[in-house]
Amino acid sequence: MAASYKKLFKLLIDRDMKKKDFKEITGISQGTLNKLQNGGNVMVDVLEKICLNMDCNVEDIMEIYPDSIDSTKKRTARSV
């Protein structure tokens, strides 16, 4: 499964917030910000920090997608 943080960056735009301000408010590092921008894996405590400091819920900042339709079909076929 792949995570998308496009919602987070849309939220920053909607709040007219620069990434620098976001890092200061949440206390995340540049490396973590890079992971978020690239859809990488981040720890749950990072998501918690973001949600608490940005006054939002996890579904406001991320979405989870299957890697591909083929892998979803394979998982379904195996579970039968």
Tens-of-pLDDT digits for all 80 residues of the chain? 788 999 999 999 999 999 999 999 999 999 999 999 998 999 999 999 999 999 999 999 999 988 765 544 545 544 44
Structural domains of the chain sorted by starting position, each given as residue range(s) with its CATH number in brackets: 2-79 (1.10.260.40)
User: In this predicted structure, what is the pLDDT of residue 67?
Assistant: 75
User: In this predicted structure, what is the pLDDT of residue 45?
Assistant: 96
Rounded Cα distance between 47 and 28, Å, is: 10
User: In this predicted structure, what is the pLDDT of residue 66?
Assistant: 85
